[in-house]
Structure formats: structure tokens, C-alpha cells
Copies of this chain bind each other. A is one copy, B any other.
Amino acid sequence: MPAMHQTFTESTDRSFGSRHVPLIRQAMAAQGLDGFLVPHEDEHQNEYLPAANDRLAWATGFTGSAGAAVILKDKAAVFVDGRYTLQVRDQVDQATFEIRDLVDGGVPAYLEIATGPGQVVGYDPRLHSPDALDRIRAAITKAGAALKAVTPNPLDEAWAGARPPQPQAPVVPQPLDYSGEDSAEKRSRVGAVIAGVNAEAAVLTAPSSIAWLFNVRGGDVIRSPLPIGQAILNRDGTARLFLDPAKVTPELPAWLGNQVRLETPDDLAEALAELKGKRVLVDPAQSSAWYFDALAAAGAEVVRGEDPCALPRATKNAREIAGTTNAHVRDGVALARFLHWLATEAQTTFPDEIEVVTKLEGLRQATGALKDLSFDTIAGALGNAALPHYRPTERLNKRTEPGSLLLVDSGAQYLDGTTDVTRTVAMGEPSQEMRERFTLVLQGHLALASVRFPVGTTGSALDVLARLPLWSRDLDYDHGTGHGVGVYLGVHEGPHRIAKMPNFVALRPGMIVSNEPGFYKEGEYGIRIENLQYVAGPDPVPGGERPMLRFEALTLAPIDRRLIVAEMLSPAERGQLDAYHARVLAEIGPRVEADVRAWLTIACAPL
């Protein structure tokens, strides 16, 4: 049996701040800096970072997926959003760091007060988006201080001895059987997008864009098959691809073909300089200020706009949908075995969270196709489930108990697709309140799963459907309802999403998006029901006048009927759930053992 992907140790502890900040301050002093900015983002503006690039964690101890720190000579602050309020207090030494809100005021408001005339605050231009820097510069200037780009990064100097090596996972072809479209075709299509904004080339730095555009996969970013690299794509479809030679596999040059010149990261600066006088598209949300500065210095005209791969990548083709459908059937087999175990043996042994995670990963390994998890499994028992971004560790691990809920949010990376599924399961006999609130969450999930919507509708227009049943009881949840998902790519990808926050991206056929309403009672329990679904259609009905779209579920796993108050469901909701369960049984039943099938038949029977 292969080693577990997921581990239960903690990569940081509360001593990190008091041990590392003095080292950073020494390096700052050597460069004459009064302050230094430490964002969560790395050189590639990734959400999930290689350990070697998690500077914020090393400086502060905080390991969340969003945040920042400011280190001044005599004080320091760490900034997180509402999702991480509890976690940051658990992980960060508050004698070293003041804890502040990332959204409300954030770094600029702090700098405006905490810095003063004549002071110099340094930043590493590879780590900040130009927009974020503009806001910070305005605040610092107001305080009379100055913002200065510095090389080398004083944190990197302080970290030098202990820093993990940069990832160098091999970059391999992703066969056409899975991608469904030749890289040359993709480059030609994206080239037309570049021409459409009257640019001559685009600089691409998002690992997911590199992977998608060139039909390659790597492994530099944790839990995602993404290669770190950069590319310059010309409007004629030719490209220059910059990859660490250590990652280039022998088959790669032939796979890329003669329209793609393979170069090293050392060649990048000169390649940017050669764009002199040209209009070049760069995405300020994906590419750091370093690229903007380099292009400006070269005399190129920068066109700020969305990464031209983002929308084509999000709109999956038929082959990708077929692949991810297969991946979800395979994952559904592992899930059926897992949920069978939870419904039978685990109801007497009451496993702890780590045992739950280990069991599920073992069942996914048993498919023989698991490349990686798509993220660390969130198995939350009791009050841990009320933390939407919880990850079990040896220290935090809780055992399930009778009369409680177990929330398991997990996913897998397979060559043909990426999965992400949450099921909440009753351990012992759940309370009536738990069942009622689970049913409200289920009603929201069903409403979003079944909506028909006109072409042009955005995810933010649909978000309310998942919340309405909770709202009717004065309840809600504080996270988005759905995120985009890749096909053997990142488990979070844009540009579409389903959330309260307004979004201007219309849902298009082929987009994959999660449907995951929840309810959380702090310190007591958490509920979430998540399926992945893709946008299907158009699919007209008789007498209709508008081209309409709908969602088709990808995830195939029963929803715990012990948690459903059947009388709360309308006949239509009941019919919808029964039809979903019938599909789960038809697809998964023939693929599992007799005892699992017998259980699945009952779990999927009409309500």
C-alpha cells in the first residue's frame, strides 16, 4: 500500500513568530528597512503554495490560504479574514503579532497609522499584485513614509538555512484523450482573444494556464498537478515556455512541437525586454508587480486584462466532461464503500477524524487511479465541523460520538478528472434540530441543483436559491455556495463562482461548479452538502422562448436519509432527491461488492 498523501502533523507552531521575526528584522536592518511586507501569495499568486514559498507561515505560524503580515522594527501585525479568526489565534504568538482584519481596513489602514515620516517599508515585487501595491503605496505615502522594492527578500535571507527546496516535479504530457483539444488549437483560440484586445502577446504566469494551454501536468503546487512556469503567447499561436530544465521530461520537447520554444526561467527577463514597443496583455490578478515593472522598463505597452486562458479553460469540452464523469463514477465507488463503512462498522467503533481520513484515502487508493488528493480531507467531528476550513491534526483530532454529526469534505485528483464532495453523516441518533437544519441545507442544495436559467445568468444571481430555506428560519452560512473546479487541474478555479459577492461572469455550458450550502453551529456541529455539477444545455422545453441552461450533477454519493425530515420536503423536492438517488444506485451499485450494494440499495431507496 502506498504512503498516505495526507499527514496529520502541523508544519508550524506558535513559537514561529518569536523565533523567526527577530531573524527577519536583522535582515531588514541590514538593508536599512523600517518595515517589510509579507503577503500569503508567492511568486505565482497561488492559493495553495509549495512549502518552500509559504513565507507567511514561516514568519507567523499561520497556515491559512489567505492573509498577510507587516513586520516593523518594534511591532508586527498579521491580517486574516473572517474564516480564519479562530485558527489565527490558535497558531500565532500574540506577543509578537497583533491580529487584525484583512478586509476591514487591512494592510493599508494599518500602515497609514503604524508608519511615520522618513520610514522605509520594503516589499518583494515578485509577490504583490500591482493593484494591491497601489493601495499600500497610497497609505504609506499619506503617512510620510516610503515604499521600496528590495532584492533580495530579507525574509528569504533569514529563512535561507531552513527553507525547503523549490519543487521540481517532472512536467509530463497530458494526453489528448483527456484534454480533448490539441495545444495548437488552444493556442490559436487564445491567440484570437489576445488579438481581440488589440495586443500582440500575453504573459501567462498562472500554473493552471500553463498546464491547460500546453496540455501538460506537473506537481509543484500541493494537491494540484500544476507546473510552475511562465509563458509568452503570441497572437499567432506561437509561444515561449519557461520551465526549470530539471523538470523537463524527455518526451516534452516533441510534445510541445516546433511552435513552442522551451526556455529556462533565466531567459524570462530578456524575453520580456524583447517585447519593447508591443502591446502585451497581463492579468494583474495573476501576475505580480515584477512583470508590470519589467514590461514598463522594456518599453512595452501593458494591457491589463483577464488571463486569456481563464474562460476557455473553465469551459470544458465534451472529452473533459466525459473524463470527469468517469472520474466521478470511480470516486463514487470509493465513496459508497466509505459511506457504507460509516453507516455500519463506524456506528459501533466511533472512529476519530484521523481514522476517517485514513479510511477514505485508503479506499480511493484502492481504485488504482489516485494521483493525489485534490485537497487535504476535512473530517470534522463535533464542533470541529463548524470550522469550514478545518484540517485534522494529531493535536486537534476529535473522536466521533453518538448523537453527533461527522462532516467529510474531500476530493481526489485522477488523470481524467478532479473531484470535490462533502457529505454529512449522523453518528448514532441525531437531534431533531440537527435533522431540521440538515433538511434546510438539503432544500437549498436541491433548489440550486434543479434551477433552469437563461443564457447570460451569473453565479451570483443564483446564490440565493441555496440560502432561501435557511433564510426562512433566520439562518445562513458565511461562505460562498460554489467554486469552479478543473479537470485534473486545481480544485478551485475561476473565473465563475456562485456567491453573494456580485460576479460578472455568465455561466457557460461546460463549466464545472460546486453546489455546497452549509450550516454551522459554533462549538457544536457543522453541516455541508456538496456535489460538483456542470452547466449543460441549451435544452429547450416545448412552448419556451429563451435559450436556457441547467446543471447536471457529477458527484454520485447518497445523502444521509437519517438526517432528512421528509415532511419538510415538497413533493417536487422529494422526487428530485429520489431521482438523484436512483441515478447513484444505477451507476455505482453494479460496481461495488454485494454488502455495499445491499446497503446502497437501501440508502438510495425512495424516501
Chain B neighbourhood of A475, CB < 8 A: 544-546
Chain B neighbourhood of A468, CB < 8 A: 451, 465
Closest-CB distance, A199 to chain B (whole angstroms): 15
* Known contacts A454-B476, A471-B454; A502/B460 CB under 8 A: yes
- The reply on A461 being an interface residue by CB < 8 A is yes
Cα A463 to Cα B461 in complex, Å, equals: 7
Cα A17 to Cα B462 in complex, Å, equals: 45
Closest-CB distance, A12 to chain B (whole angstroms): 33
Give A500's nearest chain B residue, CB to CB. Answer: B461
* Known contacts A464-B465, A468-B451; A474/B504 CB under 8 A: no
- The reply on A503 being an interface residue by CB < 8 A is yes
Which residue of the partner chain, among B457, B458, B471, B500, contacts A548 with CB atoms under 8 Å? B471
Closest-CB distance, A333 to chain B (whole angstroms): 34
Residues of chain A in range 434-489 having any CB-CB distance to chain B below 8 Å: 451-454, 457-458, 460-465, 468, 471-476
- The reply on A540 being an interface residue by CB < 8 A is yes
* Known contacts A461-B460, A464-B461; A471/B500 CB under 8 A: no
Which of the four size classes fits the interface of chain A?
20 to 34
* Known contacts A471-B451, A473-B543, A474-B543; A502/B458 CB under 8 A: yes
Chain B neighbourhood of A541, CB < 8 A: 473-474
Which residue of the partner chain, among B452, B462, B463, B472, contacts A474 with CB atoms under 8 Å? B452
* Known contacts A453-B471, A461-B460, A465-B464; A546/B476 CB under 8 A: yes
Residues of chain A in range 46-98 having any CB-CB distance to chain B below 8 Å: none
Give A450's nearest chain B residue, CB to CB. Answer: B472
Closest-CB distance, A181 to chain B (whole angstroms): 29
Chain B neighbourhood of A543, CB < 8 A: 473-474
- Per-position binary interface string of chain A over residues 535-573, scored 1 when its CB falls under 8 Å from any chain B CB and 0 otherwise: 000001101111010000000000000000000001000
Closest-CB distance, A331 to chain B (whole angstroms): 31
Cα A185 to Cα B452 in complex, Å, equals: 49
Give A539's nearest chain B residue, CB to CB. Answer: B474
Cα A11 to Cα B548 in complex, Å, equals: 41
Chain B neighbourhood of A453, CB < 8 A: 464, 471
Chain B neighbourhood of A502, CB < 8 A: 458, 460, 502-504
* Known contacts A451-B468, A468-B451, A503-B502; A540/B462 CB under 8 A: no
Chain B neighbourhood of A544, CB < 8 A: 473-475
Residues of chain A in range 236-293 having any CB-CB distance to chain B below 8 Å: none
Chain B neighbourhood of A454, CB < 8 A: 471, 476
Closest-CB distance, A439 to chain B (whole angstroms): 14
Give A544's nearest chain B residue, CB to CB. Answer: B474
Closest-CB distance, A498 to chain B (whole angstroms): 11
Cα A460 to Cα B460 in complex, Å, equals: 8
Chain B neighbourhood of A540, CB < 8 A: 474
Cα A476 to Cα B451 in complex, Å, equals: 14
Cα A545 to Cα B474 in complex, Å, equals: 6
Task: Output the residue of A458, A541, A544 with the most chain B CB within 10 A.
Answer: A544
Closest-CB distance, A576 to chain B (whole angstroms): 13
Cα A461 to Cα B460 in complex, Å, equals: 7
Chain B neighbourhood of A461, CB < 8 A: 460-461, 463-464, 500
Cα A523 to Cα B427 in complex, Å, equals: 61
Closest-CB distance, A270 to chain B (whole angstroms): 32
Cα A462 to Cα B472 in complex, Å, equals: 14
Give A542's nearest chain B residue, CB to CB. Answer: B474
Give A572's nearest chain B residue, CB to CB. Answer: B570
Residues of chain A in range 487-535 having any CB-CB distance to chain B below 8 Å: 500, 502-504
* Known contacts A451-B468, A468-B451; A548/B460 CB under 8 A: no
Q: Is the CB of A452 within 8 A of B476?
A: no
* Known contacts A460-B460, A464-B462, A502-B503; A546/B474 CB under 8 A: yes
* 9 pairs of A and B residues whose beta carbons are closest in the complex: A474-B544, A502-B502, A474-B548, A474-B541, A476-B546, A461-B464, A452-B471, A454-B476, A474-B546
- New contact pairs (14) apart from A453-B471, A461-B463, A475-B544, CB-CB < 8 Å: A452-B471, A452-B474, A454-B471, A454-B476, A461-B461, A461-B464, A465-B468, A471-B548, A473-B543, A474-B543, A474-B544, A502-B502, A502-B504, A570-B570
Can you list 23 A-B contacts (CB < 8 A)?
Answer: A452-B471, A452-B474, A453-B464, A454-B476, A458-B502, A460-B460, A460-B461, A461-B461, A461-B500, A473-B541, A473-B543, A473-B544, A474-B540, A474-B541, A474-B543, A474-B544, A474-B545, A474-B546, A474-B548, A475-B544, A475-B546, A502-B503, A570-B570
